[in-house]
Structure 1
Amino acid sequence: MSDIEYEAKALGIDPVDIARRIVAAGGVEAAPARVMRRYVYDTVPPVPGRWVRLRDMGSVVTLCVKEISTDAVDGTRETEVTVDDFAGTAELLRLAGLTPRGYQENRRTSYTLGPVRLEIDEWPRIPPYLEIEADDEAQVWEAAAALGLDRDGLTSVNTTKIYRLYGIDLEVITDLRFE
């Protein structure tokens, strides 16, 4: 199933402060901090702004194709399925001729605020950020306002572009882990 992602990010956050704001606004923790791991693959043929991601979120493993058409709040499309084995799916993709261009880890704490999904993401080498994801654009902006975040201070760029903001080319890093 292919869905538009409606999301915005607040960069350079203090995770403790944001968690406090979420709870104060009526949000609840949906999943505690956990390390997520992923393999990232180019599509065949490679298409700019499109890639395959195999991700282990701790409780569920997903395989998806992400397509970014713009950096707008609704500029990403994700076609995703659940799979039941991270290593087995990676091996299946290898046998099908796909070689990962990178392995990546991040730490994520998940919250909900009504229908909105809030993710505090911590990645190696860059400051933490908050991802606000909802079913439509209005919900994204309402959640941001409830957290006291200025809409003009938010971005919808992807993680690769966030790394670029800090002078790091994520696409050439083949192994990104916490030390």
Structure 2
Amino acid sequence: MPIEFETQILDINPGEIIEKLRVLGAEEKEEVFQKRWIFDIVCLNSEQPGLGEWIRVRQAGDKVDMTYKRKKDFSITGTEEIELAIDDFDKAAALLSKLSCFTGQYFQENRRKQFFLNDLEFDIDYWPNIPPFLEIEGKSEEDVKRGMKLLGLEEKENGHFGLINIYAKHGIKLHDYKELKF
């Protein structure tokens, strides 16, 4: 199963990150609004918050995808995923909601500002009720670390924390919210 090479960096200044990426010549994309349904898988869920398996249906602008994710730990290499493009957000969510094998179903919104530089993807994510954070994704763990170094962030706390733990750092239990909207 493909591994997702990604890290999240909290407590960032989005303006500084955007300026550094522009100076580096990164390709800048328009900020996009995203909505998603998360379906936690009952029989495969971990007892540790933020670990386990789930299916995500996401719409980002005009792009819609469905992804299976398995998070085994919080490292750069700790998440496996299989993603496929689909064409109907609402039908996919309706189909999955009919299945009885999910512990929870959650609707979430966020905004994302995206940059690309060589083989690296830099996403500044804005979520309701918490400060923005940065995700860096590459084709290898070394790529991700190189991305951190390019921005001078190699000394900052990082990891593939996941939203449950990011919200928990701010005293919020994410799954207490069946709907998370701006």
TM-score past 0.5 threshold: yes
Normalising by structure 2, report the TM-score: 0.90
**5+ residue gaps, structure 1:** none
Show CA shifts across 1:46-80 (max 9, x none). 42211111111112111111111111110001111
Residue 154 of structure 1: how far off its partner (Å): 2.0
**5+ residue gaps, structure 2:** 47-51
Residue 150 of structure 1: how far off its partner (Å): 2.4
Residue 95 of structure 1: how far off its partner (Å): 3.4
Deviation larger for 3-12 or 115-124: 3-12
Aligned partner (choices 121, 125, 129) of residue 125 of structure 1: 129
Give the corresponding residue for 1:5.
Answer: 4
Native 8 Å contact 2:97 2:105 kept in 1: no
Moved over 6 A (4+): none
Residues 1:103 and 2:101 aligned together:
no
CA RMSD of aligned residues (A): 1.6
Give the corresponding residue for 2:31.
Answer: 33
Q: Give the whole-Å Cα distance in 1 for the aligned partners of 2:157 and 2:72.
A: 21
The code of the aligned residue for 2:11 comes to G
Give the corresponding residue for 1:139.
Answer: 143
Identity of aligned residues (%): 33
Aligned partner (choices 28, 34, 45) of residue 47 of structure 1: 45
Deviation larger for 12-21 or 121-130: 12-21
Give the corresponding residue for 1:14.
Answer: 13
Q: Give the whole-Å Cα distance in 2 for the aligned partners of 1:167 and 1:96.
A: 31
Show CA shifts across 1:83-109 (max 9, x none). 100011112223344676210001001
Q: Give the whole-Å Cα distance in 2 for the aligned partners of 1:127 and 1:27.
A: 23
